[in-house]
Each structure stands twice: as C-alpha cells, then as structure tokens.
C-alpha cells in the first residue's frame, strides 16, 4: 500500500484520513472511496461539520468542558451543587459520570494527564484555572476522578499537592471490586488494594 495512488486528489484525501487514530492507509482508502460514491450534498455536510467543529467549538469558561456557548450547560445549571468540583481528564469522563446519575456537583476538565512521553506537562493542563476555582468561597470539596494508570495516579498526586494550600477537602473516587462481580475473578492487584482501602460497613452506600 505504499505505492502512490493514480490521483493526487485521492492521495491527499487518503493521507488526511490515515492521520486519524486507528486508521491505516487501507481503511483510509475505503472511507474515501465511500465518500466519493455519496451525493455531493452529503459530503459537503460532512466537510462543513468538521470545519465548523474546529472553528466554532468553545471550551467552557468555568470547567473547560467542550460546549457551544461561553458556559456549558452543567455549569449554567442553577440546580447543580456548587460546593463540589469533580476533576476529570476529558469530556468522555464527564459523559460517563453523568451517566451514573449519582453526581450533582460541578466538573473541572483537565484536558489530559501528565505524561512527558507525550509532551504533556503541567502547563498543558487546565491546572491554574482549577486552583482559582478551588479558592472560590462556595467550593468545599474537590473530588479526583482520574484513571488508575500510573500517569493518572501521578497527576492526582500532583494536583493534591497543588490543592493543599487552598485548605479545601480533597477526596478521590473509590476503587475496588466491581458491583455484581465475583471475588475470585477480581484481579489480585485490585483485590489487594480494596482490602487496604476497606470501608466501614455501616458507611457503605448501596444505592
């Protein structure tokens, strides 16, 4: 698949598609040929959607989540609990946590996690705005909800140190055995951690 395609236009489009994550040249060619078979208007709509997305997308002034307006729907919602801020990596985590219907507080989207390999240091993340928000009068608790990978844990630790001077309560979501899971099939590392971080039975919330 390294040989050049007979059309430069085709070649250019395939090149662009193959830059997407998880897409190789073969898949890129298949996608491009598919678009070629579609009506002109459909492809125009497709292209415009991408251009509009890139040019008009906004990041919420408060939580840095992706939004169409200056402040996202969650931050604008008067019914949300303004005393709690949950720190997440990106919008996918916001969607996942909203899906639980268990959280009524606000979010702060970091926009990534610390990873020098990928060139991401503290200055690439929305850390300063987080500290500013944490210093706000209404805020009482900050909940860390980052991945349990080594980089995620390192980022949590970094944020914890940054947040300590604010004097606010800093918590982290629990990690352990999945609900409805059998103990014997839980991986030993998770199981071991859940023993170390065991909780008072009377304080276990089951809803």
Partner 1 sequence: MFLKKIELLNFKNYEEASLTFDPHVNCFTGSNGGGKTNLLEAIHYMAMTKGYFSTTDAQNLRHDASMFHIQAEFVTERGLDTVSCTLRSGQKKQFLVNKTEYDRLGEHIGRFPVVVICPNDHIIITGGSDVRRRFIDGIISQVDKSYLFTLMSYNQALLQRNALLKKVAVSGFMDAGTIDLWNERLVELAGPVYEKRTAFINEFQPLFNASFNFICGGTESTDLQYQSSLSDEDFKAALEKNLKKDIELRYTTLGIHKDDLQIFINGYPVKRYASQGQQKSVTIALKLAQFEYLSKIGYSKPMVLLDDVFDKLDDNRVSRLMELVSQDRFGQLFVTDTSETKLSSVFQKVQVKHKIFHVSDGKVLQTEQQLHEL
Touching partner 1, residues 180-199 (CB under 8 A): 187-189, 192
Torsion of CA 180, 184, 188, 190, to 10 degrees: 10
Site string for partner 1, 136-155 (x = CB under 8 A): --------------xx--x-
Q: Which of 51, 117, 183, 200 binds partner 1 (CB under 8 A)?
A: 117
Residue 142 main-chain phi, psi, to 5 deg: -120, 125
| Beta carbons of 165 and 157 less than 8 angstroms apart | no
Q: Which of 25, 66, 158, 186 binds partner 1 (CB under 8 A)?
A: 158
Instruction: Kindly determine how many residues on this chain lie close enough to bind partner 1 according to the rule CB under 8 A.
Output: 16
What is the nearest approach in angstroms of partner 1 to the Cβ of residue 90?
A: 19
Is the dihedral angle over the CA atoms 140, 175, 116, 113 positive or is it negative?
A: negative
* Residue among 123 and 178 whose Cβ is closer to partner 1: 123
Looking only at the bridges linking them, the beta strands covering 58-59 and 66-67 are antiparallel
Q: Which of 22, 119, 167, 180 binds partner 1 (CB under 8 A)?
A: 119
Give the count of beta carbons closer than 10 Å to the beta carbon of residue 124: 15
What tokens appear for 49 in the block?
A: 């959607």
Q: Give the interface with partner 1 as residue ranges (CB under 8 A).
A: 114-117, 119, 121-122, 150-151, 154, 157-158, 187-189, 192
């Amino acid at each position: 698949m390294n040989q050049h395609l007979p059309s430069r236009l085709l070649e250019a489009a395939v090149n662009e598609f193959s830059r997407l994550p998880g897409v190789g040249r073969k898949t890129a060619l298949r996608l491009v040929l598919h678009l070629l078979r579609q009506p002109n208007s459909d492809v125009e709509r497709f292209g415009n959607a991408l251009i509009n997305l890139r040019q008009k997308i906004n990041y919420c002034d408060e939580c840095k989540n992706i939004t169409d307006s200056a402040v996202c729907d969650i931050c604008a919602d008067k019914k949300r609990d303004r005393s709690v801020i949950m720190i997440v990596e990106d919008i996918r985590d916001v969607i996942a946590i909203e899906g639980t219907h268990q959280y009524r507080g606000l979010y702060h989207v970091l926009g990534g996690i610390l990873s020098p390999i990928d060139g991401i240091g503290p200055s690439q993340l929305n850390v300063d705005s987080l500290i500013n928000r944490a210093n706000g009068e209404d805020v009482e608790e900050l909940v860390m909800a980052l991945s349990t990978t080594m980089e995620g844990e390192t980022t949590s630790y970094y944020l914890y140190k940054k947040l300590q001077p604010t004097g606010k309560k800093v918590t982290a979501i629990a990690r352990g055995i999945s609900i409805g899971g059998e103990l014997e099939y839980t991986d030993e590392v998770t199981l071991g951690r859940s023993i170390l971080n065991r909780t008072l039975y009377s304080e276990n919330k089951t809803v």
